[in-house]
Amino acid sequence: MYNKNQDNQYKDNNQYKDNNQNKDNNQNKDNIEETDNNERKTVLNLDKNEWGNISAVVNFISVVFQLRKTVSTGKAKSFSMKYIGLMTYLNFVYVLIGILTQNMGMTIACGIFVIYNFVIIYYYYFGQQISNKKQMLNAN
Residue 43 lies in a domain: no
How far is it, in rounded angstroms, from Cα 95 to Cα 40? 23
Number of domain units in the chain? 2
Whether residue 139 sits in one domain with residue 98: yes
Whether residue 72 sits in one domain with residue 26: no
Residue with more model confidence, 35 or 121: 121
| Res 28 pLDDT > 70 | no
b/e map of 88-106 (b: 16 or more CB within 10 Å)?
beebeebbeebeeeebebb
Question: For 106-129, what is each residue's pLDDT tens digit?
Answer: 899 899 999 999 999 998 888 766
Whether residue 72 sits in one domain with residue 134: yes
Burial level of 43, CB count in 10 A (0-12/13-18/19+)? Answer: exposed
CA-to-CA dists, residue 3 to 9, 16, 29, 45, 58, angstroms: 10, 20, 40, 67, 76
Whether residue 54 sits in one domain with residue 14: no
Q: How confident is the model at residue 10 (pLDDT cuts 50, 70, 90)?
A: low
- pLDDT, mean of residues 66-82: 81
Domain of 66, CATH number, reads 1.20.1280.290
Whether residue 79 sits in one domain with residue 106: yes
Global model pTM greater than 0.85: no
pLDDT of residue 51: 82
Q: Mean pLDDT over all residues of the chain?
A: 76
